[in-house]
Every structure is written in C-alpha cells, then in structure tokens.
C-alpha cells in the first residue's frame, strides 16, 4: 500500500503573534513531528519549520527533498517514490498553505494520479485572511496571482481586473514580489476609478500586521510602507 501525502501549512512569517499555536492546530504540529520524509521549497527553511514544530527525530535523520519553480516535471515521480513505496510524507510551503500560489500543485495532482491519499491540514492562508479582513465581496472572488512586471503591462492588467470585477461583481485578489509592492500600490491608486474599493493586507498574523481598506478616492494620504513586506492586494469595482 502507498503512504499518504500530508499537506502541511507553514506560518506566514517567523514572528507569528501568539506563537505557533495561534496559527497551527495541535494535529498539524503532531503530524509534522512524526513524519520522516518531507518535500519543501528550500531544505533550510523546511528544517527551520520542523524545529519550530517540535520534530521528534534529530533533523539530520529526516529526509528533505526540494520542490520549487526550477524543479522539472520529470522529477515529480521521484519525489513521490518513497510515498508510493509505503512511507507517509509531508509537503510544506515556504509560507501558508501548500499548493496554493505554490509549486506544490503539480506534485499533488500527480499524487492523485498515482492513487496516493492526499490529506490537507488546517493552517493560515494569507489570501483568505486578507479577504476576510477586507470587507470586499466574499461570495465571489478570484485569485489572479502575480501581475506583470513591466509597468505598462501591469496597468493594462489592473484595468482588465477592474473591468472584470465591475462586470461580475467579483473581488480580484493578487500579489506582488515584496520589493515591488510600492510600485503596485502606486499603479493601483493612479489607475483605478475613485469608487473602486482597494484593500492592502500586510504582514498578516505578524506583530506588524496592517490591513487598510478604502475606496481609491478615500485612500489615506499618508504613504503606506510596503517595501519588502509580504502583502496581498484586493480590489472590488463599484
């Protein structure tokens, strides 16, 4: 019989307010502590999480394989081989929930194809936490991932998302590389209609957490510092 693939959520940052217990249930921590095979984006950060979770075995006796944007599709079966052979394994994201805005989705899909039982565990999702705190439409929403890096293409995409939001009355959610967050905010404030609702959620679950949600025309004049801080952007056109 094959083992099971456990999808183990990570924290959203190293200084979670209230500690690990505030964002991860005991079941998740106990699961992480008992497994001996893990797949993560980076071995170093995966080891740091396992140490935090109270891994029962010495970390040098734990097998950690890497899965990231540079991993070829041909390597997926090799990553799943120990689970196919009967061992349980864990998939851990760098932050938040595995396989959501995360390269683990292909691994999960292949696990289903191979008849491996996939077990999602409860943990923090910055996307859902931001939506909860935004006051925007939680009945209909879409996650658009990363927007284009090129400034002109970014503005074009923002206009497309705003039009879709207005047409479908749907909240549009997207993210940006932390060092480009300020450029994203400036583009949103300079492109969207004054009546469009914009929410920016920064450092969720961390001591410096900030969630700001206003219409573009009412956005605070004081500049919000987003530089190199994990942020989620949400808009809802009216």
* H-type alpha helices, 91-228: 105-113, 126-134, 151-168, 181-191
User: What structural domains does the chain harbor?
Assistant: 4-120 (3.40.1010.10), 126-236 (3.30.950.10)
> What is the pLDDT at residue 221?
76
- Do residues 117 and 34 touch, judged by C-beta distance below 8 A? no
b/e map of 120-148 (b: 16 or more CB within 10 Å)? bbebbbbbbbbbebbebbeeebebeeebe
Q: Structure tokens of 136?
A: 């925007």
Per-residue pLDDT of the chain (238 residues; tens, 9 = 90+): 899 999 999 999 888 888 888 899 999 999 998 999 999 999 999 999 998 888 878 888 899 999 998 999 999 999 999 999 999 999 999 999 999 988 899 999 999 999 999 999 999 999 999 999 999 999 999 999 999 999 999 999 999 999 999 999 999 999 999 999 999 999 999 999 999 999 999 999 999 999 999 999 999 877 788 988 999 999 999 9
Residue 222 confidence (pLDDT): 78
Return d(Cα 21, Cα 103) in angstroms, integer: 26
pLDDT of 3 reads 96
The pTM for the full model equals: 0.91
Condensed to tens digits (0 to 9), the pLDDT of residues 200-211 reads: 999 999 999 999
| Cα separation, 38 vs 89, whole angstroms | 6
User: b/e string for 55-81 if b means 16 or more Cβ within 10 A?
Assistant: beeeeeebebbbbeeebeeeebeebbe
Nearest to 176 by CA among 209, 154, 152: 154
**pLDDT, position 69:** 87
């Amino acid at each position: 019989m094959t083992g099971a693939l456990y999808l183990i959520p990570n924290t959203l940052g190293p200084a979670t307010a209230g500690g690990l217990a505030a964002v991860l249930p005991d079941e998740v921590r106990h699961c992480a502590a008992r497994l001996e095979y893990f797949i993560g984006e980076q071995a170093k950060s995966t080891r740091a999480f396992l140490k935090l979770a109270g891994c029962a075995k010495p970390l040098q006796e734990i097998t950690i394989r890497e899965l990231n944007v540079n991993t070829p599709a041909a390597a997926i079966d090799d990553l799943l081989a120990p689970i196919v052979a009967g061992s349980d394994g864990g998939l851990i994201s760098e932050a938040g929930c595995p396989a959501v805005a995360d390269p683990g989705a292909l691994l999960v899909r292949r696990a289903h194809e191979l008849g491996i039982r996939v077990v999602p565990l409860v943990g923090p999702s910055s996307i859902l936490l931001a939506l909860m705190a935004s006051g925007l439409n939680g009945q209909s929403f879409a996650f658009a991932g990363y927007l284009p890096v090129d400034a002109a293409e970014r503005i074009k995409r923002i206009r497309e998302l705003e039009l879709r939001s207005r047409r479908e009355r749907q909240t549009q959610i997207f993210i940006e590389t932390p060092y480009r967050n300020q450029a994203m905010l400036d583009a949103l404030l300079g492109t969207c209609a004054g009546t469009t609702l914009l929410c920016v959620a920064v450092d969720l679950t961390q001591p410096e957490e900030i969630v700001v949600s206003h219409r573009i025309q009412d956005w605070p004049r004081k500049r919000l510092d987003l530089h190199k801080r994990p942020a989620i952007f949400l808009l809802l056109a009216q």
